[in-house]
A and B are shown apart, each in its own frame.
Chain A
Amino acid sequence: MPPDASDSTIAQLALLARRVEREHKARLAAEVLAEQGLRELYQAQQELRLLVSIADTANHASSITETLRFAVTSICNHTGWEVGHVYLNHQLPAPSPLRSARIWNDNLAPAFAELRDFIEQRRLVANDGWPGRVLAARQPLWIRDLAAERDADCWELRAAGQLRATFAFPVIIGEEVVALLEFSCTRVQDEDASLLSLLSKVGVQLGRAVERKISQDKLLYDATHDALTGLPNRQHFRQLLTQALLQAQQRNTQCAVLFIDLDHFKLVNDSMGHHAGDQLIIHVAQRVRSTLQRLEPIRHPDQYAQTLCGGAVVARLGGDEFTVLLENVTTESVPLQAAEQILELLKQPFLINGQEVYSGASIGIALSAPGYYSGDEILRDADLAMYQAKSRGKSRGKVFDRGMRDQAAKRLTIESDLRRALPRQEFLLNYQPIVALDNGEIIGFEALIRWRRAGVIVPPADFIPIADELGLIIPIGHWVLEEACRTLRDWQQHFPRQQPLTISVNVSPRQFRQPNFVSQVRQALHNAGIEPGALTLEITESATMGNPERAIATLLQLRDLGVKLSIDDFGTGYSSLSYLHRFPLHALKIDRSFIARIDGSFQSFQVVHSIMSLANNLGIAVVAEGIETIEQVGHLRALLCQFGQGYHFSRPLPQADVLQLLTRPVLCLTR
């Protein structure tokens, strides 16, 4: 420093020196802060990366275990800990104890094998060891040194595997721990609060992933299963069938489809209500399942174990239709035997709403064979076979054969023609006289429908059941009623009598059960302008089945209207004698089968005799149907049967011929 340097210069230099020193210190402090900031940033980025990668995997993984496996590996990589393991509820979404998911990140194996075996056998419950404590508290837990923990979970084993610090955290959905992830390392390590906080977030992410997977599975399950029975639905069954067909072709084996249709489901549903119908469906599903459980078990790759019945799959296609898929079928007898067992079990009564209900079923069977290219084809053929079984008298099984396809095609044509028959005015009525057996006088006629299809007359037996199935019976029945009443009016005008001519009209069960049936009858009488007493409605016993009280109410209304009522085909149906006296009947019509045998069969004679006594006691008239011989007339007259009809008197006649007949309305009763 020069000798003339002033004090102020010295002071300034001192200040500068101090500033340099102070700024140097400040810079060092700033660098420390910056480094710390960078480290924290890096750590935050790593944590974020871990969270994002787990969330990302959870979004794209095909299974929960895939997500958990990724999470365990990622956390081990992030923390540098050697061992990671997962406990999982394997019964999701149902609650169940956690068990090892056998998902490991194990960098110590095989030194660790003994502990690993122990853990894999374990069923984790609350407070059982330290993972059990995590389960109970639903909170993450950190143990800095297992060796120092008295109640640490199997610490001897862990110590033998040299594991010291450990932590675990739960994966929670709602209130329930659905998985638990545990990690261990060979160092003693103090609790890291920020790591535990991060892992709690991972736990939340995993919880959401599991929850999402459960929802997806449920959606998939709901979309592929019938809600009422829990059985696979049509769509799912078709998939399984396609798969089974493919396997059968590859392995050169066969599979079979049983198509089951209940015989009286509609009756139960209509008469007892939909709830009862649902109950019946549930019972049927249980019975079919239980039958198949007794069959030889065959492994099946379907993921939904509950739909399997010892290797057979039962499905509900909808309504009262069920299907069974049998795989590895060696002979036709296997599905036949299964069908027989199912039929037998379904024949037994079901207890619905405290009432015994009989259903029965018809089963069609189709076996895979060369030439089948899709499951739908087998299903269609099984359906055809079922239809055949049903048309041959129900409660039976039928194996598909190729002839059925032609019949089905024929039926399809009939169906489509039948739908057009009414608007095309292809129906016509024939009339068969009903004769008083004491004097041979024609007292009236039974109207009988015919279908003129492409110029050929089709008998009722060939189209009425189909019309019934298609629901066409209602408009057809309505037409018959109107037409018969109109015709009767014409005859009454042309042939006035003291006791006016009557007309009998057959009413189908479905028609009878319409809520507005009585008003339809009233309208028909009004339209034709005939007296109600001139109309007799013939109903079968089956029309009154199911809900007799409702049937009685309808019958009473009809009686009050003035219409006469008779029971058709008496003796062939259920002959519900208990109700007979409650029905306001005017007549019973004895079925032709008894009349045909009245000559030769003492039994038939006795049946007719009994019916006559019954009717007499109840004050009901009797009409004998199907009288073909003079001898039959004699027997019936001897039994004091009042009325009769049949070829002996006249076949059913077109309207024009009736006019001719009515010019001489007394028929010959003796030789």
Chain B
Amino acid sequence: MTDTSTTQSGPYEAQLGDYFALLKPRVMQLVVFTALVGMLAAPTPVHPVVAFASILFVAIGAGASGALNMWWDADIDAVMRRTANRPIPSGRVQPGEALAIGVALSGLSVMMLGLAANLLAAGMLLFTILFYAVFYSMWLKRVTPQNIVIGGAAGAFPPVIGWIIATGSFSIEAWLMFALIFMWTPPHFWALALFMRNDYDDAKVPMLTVTHGRRSTRNHILVYTILLVLLAIGTGFTSIGGPIYLAAAVVLNALFLLGAFRIWKRDETDSETDNFAVERKFFRLSLWYLFLHFGAILAEATLRPYGFGGWS
């Protein structure tokens, strides 16, 4: 056997899927969906080709910021179980490649969104990328336990961008959708931090669980959930709300509040007994919570031309 294998001993060559994983596809799904809802909930119609291209470039921009985040946070990702298999810590993609992809796709997405939609939308996308990659990843995440609260704004901008793509301007409805995601992010991530117990400790990320303790985190989840419930139900009475949204919001917020109350009521002993079942359930519910709220806003907007959506 003289077959010399260069593939077995040579360095691993990144596949397209590895580069795609840099873009955080799961986060991109949320960005695409909320930006789409923001665009369709706006009163101005958008040509389907412009709509498709705009949402695609918003998604690419979100992916680019994800790649920049992975490039910067590779040291943290390598320590945490949840992220150790990401392309850079696992060695599938070189850090320099991630940086190049992040910068290139950021520039491309912002320029193309400016051409496809308008300059305000492009400016907002650029601001979002910088907010997430620089303000959150490079600074906030490592210095303050409020990282999730302020950093959550980055994930909350997509519906605002979607609204601007359609209208070319800001409005109170766009900021209501922003506020919904902004207030939802802390309880969502703090629930995750409760059951991903040692990850953030090991990585020395100042999550609330690490700096203020787990009891304080449970209190915070309840307080933020109460504020979120008021906001989410209040949105039902605005122009993006309506009977469908309100019905969905009442049910979802009752369940969410109940979940937060259960988390608040228990202590570490209870949680360890059932391996954080309540916290895990609350985290899963939080994903459905956001998806269904935006789904209801979309339903109201879709039915409005037929005389069913909204309050009028």
A binds B: no
Binding site for A on B (CB under 8 A): none
